[in-house]
Structure 1
Amino acid sequence: MEKTLKRLSSIRTESDILREFLAEFLGTLTFVCIGCSANAVMLQMPELSLINGPLSWGLALSVSIYVSGGVSGGHLNPAVSLGLASIGKLQWKKLLHYFLGQYLGAFVGSLLAYAIYNQTIDRMPNDITWPIFGTKSASHINAGSAFLDQIISTMFFLMIICSLTDEDNPMKPSKGLLPFAIGFINFGSMIASFSYNCGGALNPARDLMPRIMTAIFGWKSAPFAYNDYNYFWIPIVACHLGGILGCWIYRLMIGNHWK
């Protein structure tokens, strides 16, 4: 037993690609598992949803960045990685393994949340429970409004992230406080402010992969068929575009002009 433990403790990789992949995978897994688990709790205790939902997702993001940030930067979000790559803050060649880690981590994280709460979830109708894992638009919101919502909310999210990580910004927090600052933004400024229309997705991996998980494990087409298949694609497309837009707005209006 002792020899086995020694062998396990000596497992190590020198590959930056594998290290960054593992960090993004574990960080995104942690983020999505905690967040979806909070959604499952709120389904049973709706009186907590107004504060508990945004707060849980914000804290989930903070702790997940603490887990992974020292290795990969703790993006945990394809919109973040793509936006930063578009302004030269991440090498384009790293996008593939960052994306793989994020999307796979989101799938496994949502699956773990389902494994924990499946006996409670399976007692209720599918159309009530699949939104534990994926976002949906309000019934009166059309696709155009939902698309605009996700572009603008993700734009602000990335714009603020750029300001917090800008080395030239004298107002930036210390590295130790950065995950907390980003999580607080996710809680206060983003999810609490922009969640009414579409649930505050902000993250293509966090929305798509749990949706795929639910389709595989019993919900069939319901997570994709919502609103006549005219919503599920919006967090994927709009969040990527919003991430690029937010990074470039900060670069062109603030980042390029430091003395």
Structure 2
Amino acid sequence: MPPPDSAETKNWQSSRDSTGKESPLHREHLTESDTQSYHNAHVTHYPNRWSRYREILREPVAEFLGVAILVIFGAGVDCQVILSMNSGVASFPRGSYLSINFGWGIGTALGVWVSGGISGGHINPAITLAFATYRGFPWKKVPIYIFAQVMGGLVGAGLVYANYIHAIDIVEGGRHIRTQTTASLFSTYALPYMTNVSSFFSEFLATAVLVIAVFAMTDQKNLPPPTGLAPLLLFFLVLGLGTSLGMETGYAVNPARDFGPRLLTSMVGYGKAVYTFRNQYWIWCPILGPILGAQAGAFFYDAFLFTGEESFFNKPDARTRQLRLHAPPEQRPHPPAGADHTV
């Protein structure tokens, strides 16, 4: 293919009309050399073998990386703030509860910023399921997205664990001692006074608020943020959730952010105790709580606020379809230009 500024390329470009199609009136003026350049000029979608595999892997890897970044910042700030309270780890505490909220907010913003333009930046199985239920996200992609998200949480937690392992040893009293004291740096555990029902409700409520805000941000008929600013708004959203609703359960609001690191802790010496805590707390609070809360928040937003065609709340009912069928041709809805008319 000739260089972008070459005469051959300019001749080839001039031979195409405003629609991008070849103009017969201009084609006849091309020289034989120009004609050969015209035939050779094309965009190669897969310039090499790896690019084909990358096209398949881009979306799940983006979700994997987004969650890994989220957990690196989130679990990392947990470790720094809590472990530094031990005088054997640091001469003075490095941070506060507000620092933890900032860390998780920054991790969310950067995770979405890295993955948003490729996979949509879900980085949360509860968000993925909500978009599949209410926004037409393909259900066939849901399993691979969730798997990638959980693996991102596991790897992110593993990197943080490797980084802070010596400080963890000091706090625990040895390499082979692992308790909930440091397990809670990676996954969420409710405070002792919280009942099971209250813990579930806390996660349910926080995730419902999260999804309502996310759906409002993506609603083009509401007040969507300018292009590229969604991660910044998510930073403030997660920061606000942490400072207002995060104390009691650690505000998982994301099954992958909790389950991935929980898998990691069970693999590095914490054992089955991370699953048996409060009769399988890990299932119904940081997993089912966010998933059901996300569905409830999405249901409420779409039922009362959303008017886009993606949601099943706005699909035409039988009576409306019948009226459209019998309406005069000039009153029937016309598909957008270029739409596929195949039924």
TM-score with structure 2 length normalisation? 0.69
Residue matched to 1:55: 102
Cα-Cα RMSD: 1.9
Q: Is the 8 A contact 1:75 1:81 kept in 2?
A: yes
Return the match for 1:155 from 202, 208, 226: 208
1:247 aligned onto 2:291: no
Residue matched to 1:3: none
1:28 aligned onto 2:59: no
Q: Is the 8 A contact 1:24 1:76 kept in 2?
A: yes
Q: Partners in 1 of 2:267 and 2:308 — Cα distance? A: 49
In the TM superposition, what are the counterparts of 1:137-152 in structure 2 within 5 Å?
137-152=190-205
Q: Partners in 2 of 1:38 and 1:87 — Cα distance? A: 34
1:231 aligned onto 2:281: yes
Q: Which amino acid aligns with 1:250?
A: Y
Residue matched to 2:227: 175
Q: Which runs of 4+ in 1 moved over 6 A?
A: none
Return the match for 2:51 from 1, 4, 12: 12
Provide structure 1 residue ranges, at least 5 long, that are not aligned to the other structure. 1-8
Q: Which amino acid aligns with 1:162?
A: F
Residue matched to 2:28: none
Residue matched to 2:151: 104
CA 246–45 in structure 1, closer or farther in 2 if over 3 Å, else same: same
Q: Is the 8 A contact 1:13 1:19 kept in 2?
A: no
1:198 aligned onto 2:198: no
Q: Partners in 1 of 2:307 and 2:262 — Cα distance? A: 39
Post-superposition CA distance 1:125-168 (Å, at most 9, x none): 32210001001111001111111111111011001000011111
Q: Which amino acid aligns with 1:187?
A: L
1:214 aligned onto 2:265: yes
2:149 is paired with a residue of what secondary structure? helix
Q: Which amino acid aligns with 2:239?
A: F
Which structure is higher in helix share?
A: 1
1:44 aligned onto 2:80: no
Identify which range, 82-91 or 155-164, moves more after superposition.
82-91
1:133 is paired with a residue of what secondary structure? coil
1:103 is paired with a residue of what secondary structure? helix
1:118 aligned onto 2:150: no
Q: Is the 8 A contact 1:17 1:94 kept in 2?
A: no
Post-superposition CA distance 1:18-72 (Å, at most 9, x none): 2111110111111111111111001134562221001110011101111111100
Q: Which amino acid aligns with 1:168?
A: K
Q: Which amino acid aligns with 2:281?
A: Y
Q: Is the 8 A contact 2:206 2:293 kept in 1?
A: yes
Quick check: which has more Rg, 1 or 2? 2
* Structure 1 residue 224: Cα displacement: 2.1
Higher relative contact order (CA 8 A, sep 6+): 1
Return the match for 1:165 from 211, 218, 231: 218
Post-superposition CA distance 1:66-118 (Å, at most 9, x none): 11111001110000000111103411111011111101111111111101111
Q: Which amino acid aligns with 1:136?
A: Y
Q: Partners in 1 of 2:276 and 2:246 — Cα distance? A: 21
Q: Which amino acid aligns with 2:249?
A: C
Aligned residues: 247
TM-score with structure 1 length normalisation? 0.90
Q: Is the 8 A contact 1:143 1:230 kept in 2?
A: no
